[in-house]
Amino acid sequence: MSNDERSVGDLRNTGMALKYDREWDYELERVAEAVADREAESVGLQFPEGLKRRAGGVADDLRDLLPAGVTVLISGQPCYGACDLDLEMMRRTDVFVHFGHSPMKESGNIIYVPLFSNVDVFPIMEEAVEELEDGEVGLVTTAQHMSHFDEMKEFLEERGFTVLTRKGDERLTHEGQVLGCNYASADVDADQVLYVGGGKFHPVGLGMEHPDKRVVIADPVNNVLTEATTEEFVKQRYGAIHRAMDAETWGIIVSSKIGQRRWDVAEDLVAEHESAYLISLDEVTPDRLRNFGFDAYVNTACPRVTTDDGPQFHEPLLTPQEYRIAIGEEPMDALSFDTFHGTW
Ligand code: SF4
């Protein structure tokens, strides 16, 4: 699957009980305090896919901190980002804990535990400094490394750089934070941006969203320094658009996930085309679409599903803008990255 959960690529799936897991701070004392403050009788726990095997250990450790009689429930729903909350569990529990992502939107009973990484980011940043041009540099990172963001900034400033940062929009929790669907924090007045983080999809997104900037990638987990390139991505997207050009029937997917709904976009697309059909889905997977038999699909839900998993689908799966290119409303060279703004 493809989504922001991949930004926690350094979360290892060992299945060990939490008492042996010292890599991440699950902040269980904070959760237990909230349970006591609210006199809660039930606690819901939601984990991203990469951490689900830790759920049993986390529940054991949490139960040790809770008064007898408090029920702990684990969400089995797929989860890939802070956009992706288990609404049914939120309704049914007094305290709901979402692990692995920083808040997209605060609300009543949700406690977000972002799980900051303890990996040392500075050895690879030392190498990155050698690659950067003197002067101004933008700085961005993922939620997992956010707890070190001020130190990263200081590190660059001590080495003579003018560091430009901003908080993109309300979909983001922190200054300098990027999501798989939002790179607005890199929209700074500098010709170069340093991205501190792992994975492939954030660098590609940064490169596509900010083609006027050089994006240097310092991956502290794998200790690798590279630069963002977008050629392969663009080639893959052009291929999908070309395959969809002959489509006569279109399925327009609208998400039922709270932070991935773009009803207005989906409804506009359906209104424009007499052989387009609105399909409501939570998980967008090849199997879920297979039986509809439309010639091509447009995904208005998480853009990373389209761009990262698109090749696995049986029919072409396009972003809304790629659809307009496929039907001739926009030129091919207008291709841009599909991004989300705002919350819900
Ligand atoms: S919509 Fe954005 S935040 Fe949600 S899973 Fe996709 S990339 Fe991540």
Domain count, the chain: 3
pLDDT of amino acid 294: 98
* 69 and 130 part of one domain: no
Which domain-ending residue is among 65, 93, 113?
113
Rounded Cα gap, residues 249 and 263, in angstroms:
19
Rounded Cα gap, residues 210 and 194, in angstroms:
12
* 240 and 272 part of one domain: yes
Whether 241 has a pLDDT exceeding 60, the answer reads yes
pLDDT of amino acid 200: 80
pLDDT bucket at 316, cuts 50 / 70 / 90: very high
* 105 and 172 part of one domain: no
Question: Residues 199-233: pLDDT tens digits?
Answer: 788 999 999 999 999 999 999 999 999 999 999 99
Atom 1 in ligand 1: which residue has the minimum CA distance? 302
Q: Which atom of ligand 1 is nearest to the CA of 82?
A: 3
Whether 72 has a pLDDT exceeding 60, the answer reads yes
**What would the two tokens of residue 304 be?**
């990373």
pLDDT of amino acid 261: 95
Q: Is 43 in the pocket of ligand 1 (CB under 6 A)?
A: no
174 against 22, higher pLDDT = 174
Whether 22 has a pLDDT exceeding 90, the answer reads no
Question: What is the rounded average pLDDT of the residues 304-328?
Answer: 96
Q: Cα dist. 111→99, 292, 318, 334 in Å?
A: 8, 38, 34, 41
User: Pairing relation of β-strands 276-281 and 296-299?
Assistant: unpaired
Rounded Cα gap, residues 258 and 135, in angstroms:
41
Which domain-ending residue is among 197, 212, 227?
227
Q: Which atom of ligand 1 is nearest to the CA of 4?
A: 8
Rounded Cα gap, residues 282 and 108, in angstroms:
23
Q: Is 307 in the pocket of ligand 1 (CB under 6 A)?
A: no
User: Pairing relation of β-strands 250-255 and 224-227?
Assistant: unpaired
Whether 17 has a pLDDT exceeding 90, the answer reads no
CB 207 within 8 A of CB 214: no
pLDDT of amino acid 109: 82
Q: Is 297 in the pocket of ligand 1 (CB under 6 A)?
A: no
The residue type of 129 is: V
* 147 and 195 part of one domain: yes
Which domain-ending residue is among 188, 203, 227?
227
Q: Which residues of 194-227 are buried (b: 16+ CB within 10 A; e: fewer)?
A: bbbbbbbbbbbbbbbbbeebbbbbbbbbeeebee
* 177 and 95 part of one domain: no
Residues paired with 141 in a beta bridge: 177, 196
The mean predicted confidence, pLDDT, of the chain is 92
Question: Residues 24-71: pLDDT tens digits?
Answer: 789 999 999 999 999 999 999 999 998 999 999 999 999 999 999 999
Rounded Cα gap, residues 104 and 81, in angstroms:
9
Residue 297, domain CATH: 3.40.50.11860
CB 179 within 8 A of CB 217: no
Q: Is 250 in the pocket of ligand 1 (CB under 6 A)?
A: no
326 assigned to some structural domain? yes
Q: Which atom of ligand 1 is nearest to the CA of 84?
A: 4
Q: Is 6 in the pocket of ligand 1 (CB under 6 A)?
A: no
**What would the two tokens of residue 46 be?**
């939601």
342 assigned to some structural domain? no
CA of 131 from ligand 1 middle (Å) equals: 30
| Three-state DSSP class for residue 9 | coil
Give residue 21's domain range: 4-113
* 221 and 137 part of one domain: yes
Q: Cα dist. 13→47, 86, 298 in Å?
A: 12, 21, 32
pLDDT of amino acid 24: 74
215: left (phi over 0), alpha (psi -120 to 50) or beta: beta
In Å, how far from its chain's centre is CA 169?
Answer: 15
Rounded percentage of the chain residues whose pLDDT exceeds 70: 93
